[in-house]
Amino acid sequence: MTDDLLIAIDLHKTYGTTAALDGAEFAIRAGEVVAVMGPSGSGKSTLLHCLAGIVRPDSGSIRYGGRELSTMSDAGRSALRRSDFGFVFQFGQLVPELTCVENVALPLRLNGVKRAAAETRAVEWMDRLEVSEIANKRPGEVSGGQGQRVAVARALVTGPRVVFADEPTGALDSINGERVMKLLTQAARATDAAVVLVTHEVRVAAYSDREIVVRDGKSRDMARAA
C-alpha cells in the first residue's frame, strides 16, 4: 500500500544455521497499532529489530518513509532511532542513576535539547502517562507499573512516528499491564504514531488494530487471511 509508513518485504535473517526470518513481511500505517504474535523462538523479536534498524537483514527490503533502511549506514540508522523511533522494552531499561524525569528527558538531551526544555517536555509526558508525581524519584524507588509508564513516556517524548514495544507488559501483573497498554495506545493514537507491538499475550494483542503471526520465520497477516 502506498500509504504504509513502514513496510518490509521478503526478509531473511540467519544466525549460524538457524533461520530466524524466512521471507517475513510486514506493513504498518501512521496511527495504527499492529501486534506481532508468535511462540518463543518464532522470529518475532528479530523482525522487530530489523524493522527498527537495530539488526540488518541478510536480504529483503525495509522501507520507512520512502527510504531503504537495509542499505542505510549505521550512523544513519542510529540517527533515525533517535529522531523517528521510540522504544519500550519488557523490563523498561531505565537508567538507575537518573531520576524518572531525567530518564524521560534523556532522548531529548541526546538530540541536543537543553536540560530545562527537555525536562519540561518530559514532565508533560509523565503527566499524560499518570506518573508525574514520581518525577524526582529514581527507578529503584517506584513500582514496576510506574516504571513501565515512565518508559512509555520516554519512548513518546521525542514525538516518534513509530514506537516499537517488545513485550511491554511481560514483567507486569494483569492490572498494571492493562493500564500500561491503555495509556500507550491512547497516547500513540493521539499523536498519530504507529505502534509495532511484539507480544505472546492475547489480552495485550486485543489493543491492536491488526495482528501478524510469526512462525518459523514466516509471517501471516491475520486481517488479510480472514
Query: How many Cβ atoms sit within 10 Å of the Cβ of residue 138?
Result: 16
Cα–Cα distance measured from residue 165 to residue 87, given in angstroms and rounded to the nearest whole number = 6
Cα–Cα distance measured from residue 68 to residue 54, given in angstroms and rounded to the nearest whole number = 14
**Collapsed DSSP state (helix, strand, coil) of residue 176:** helix
Query: pLDDT-based confidence at 105, cuts 50/70/90?
Result: very high
Cα–Cα distance measured from residue 67 to residue 179, given in angstroms and rounded to the nearest whole number = 35
Cα–Cα distance measured from residue 177 to residue 168, given in angstroms and rounded to the nearest whole number = 8
Cα–Cα distance measured from residue 225 to residue 163, given in angstroms and rounded to the nearest whole number = 25
Give per-residue pLDDT as tens, 112-171. Answer: 999 999 999 999 999 999 999 999 999 999 999 999 999 999 999 999 999 999 999 988
Residues making up the chain, counted from first to last: 226
Going from N- to C-terminal start, the domains of the chain cover: 1-84+162-170+192-226
CATH topology of domain 1-84+162-170+192-226: Rossmann fold (3.40.50)
Q: Which three cell numbers stand for residue 199?
A: 507480544
Give per-residue pLDDT as tens, 29-48. Answer: 999 999 999 988 899 999 99
pTM confidence score: 0.92
